[in-house]
Amino acid sequence: MSCCAAGAEAFITMTDPAIARQEVLLASHRISEDLLQTDLSVPGIHCGGCIQAIERSLGALPDIEHARANLSTKRVTIRWRGGDPPPFIETLDKIGYKAHLFDVDGDRKDAVQGELVRALASCCCRFRCGPEPSQPHGTCSTGYRR
C-alpha cells in the first residue's frame, strides 16, 4: 500500500534513469565527506530470509559500505561512496522486492502545525463554550484549558 496515487510507483520507475539517480542523491544524507546514506522503504520484507537476500544483493553492488534491512520497520539503510548512486531500487526489484525512497524527516512533528492546531482548538472552544463565570478562568466546560 502506498500514500501515492494509484500507479505513481509505475510512473516513477519508468522515468529517465538520470532523474531517478538525482532523486536518490536528493533523498540521501551525507554521513561524512565521501559517505552517503540512503533509506528505502521495502514493504515486502517478511522474514530473516528476506533480510539475508536483500543485504547480500545490496552488499554485492560496487561502492556499498553497509546495507542493513530492518524487519520491524520494513526499511533498508544503505551507506555508500561515490558521486553516482548504485542501483539500489533496481537491484531490489530484480530479486522481487519493491522499494521506494523513505523520507526520514517525514516522521518528525511539524511545530508550526502543532501551534495552528492548538490555536484552532482554542478558537473553537471559545466559540462553542463562551465565557462561563462558573468555570475557573481559562477552562471551558469541556475541560479544555485555554
- Domains of the chain: which residue ranges? 8-107, 109-146
- The distance of Cα 40 from the centroid of its chain, to the nearest Å, equals 8
The amino acid at 39: D
Assigned fold of 8-107? Alpha-Beta Plaits (3.30.70)
List the chain pLDDT tens, one digit each, 146 residues. 444 444 444 444 445 677 778 888 888 999 999 999 999 999 999 999 999 999 999 999 999 999 999 999 999 999 999 888 999 999 999 999 999 998 766 555 566 767 777 776 666 555 555 555 555 555 555 555 54
Residue 100 to residue 43: CA distance in whole angstroms = 9
The Cβ of residue 72 has, within 10 Å, a number of other Cβ atoms equal to 6
Cell of 137: 478562568
